[in-house]
Amino acid sequence: ETGVTQTPRHLVMGMTNKKSLKCEQHLGHNAMYWYKQSAKKPLELMFVYSLEERVENNSVPSRFSPECPNSSHLFLHLHTLQPEDSALYLCASSRSQGSGETQYFGPGTRLLVL
Residues near another protein (CB under 8 A): 4, 6, 31, 40-43, 45, 48, 50, 55-56, 88, 90, 92, 94, 97-108, 110
CA angle 47–48–54, rounded 5-degree value:
100
Q: 18 or 96: whose CB is closer to another protein?
A: 96
The two beta strands, 44-50 and 104-105, are unpaired
Cis peptide before 8 (omega within 30 of 0): yes
Minimum CB distance to another protein, residue 78 (Å):
19
Minimum CB distance to another protein, residue 51 (Å):
13
How far apart are the two ends of the chain, measured CA to CA in Å? 32
Minimum CB distance to another protein, residue 47 (Å):
12
Q: 78 or 109: whose CB is closer to another protein?
A: 109
* Cβ neighbours of residue 57 closer than 8 Å, sequence gap 6 or more: 46, 47
Q: 41 or 83: whose CB is closer to another protein?
A: 41
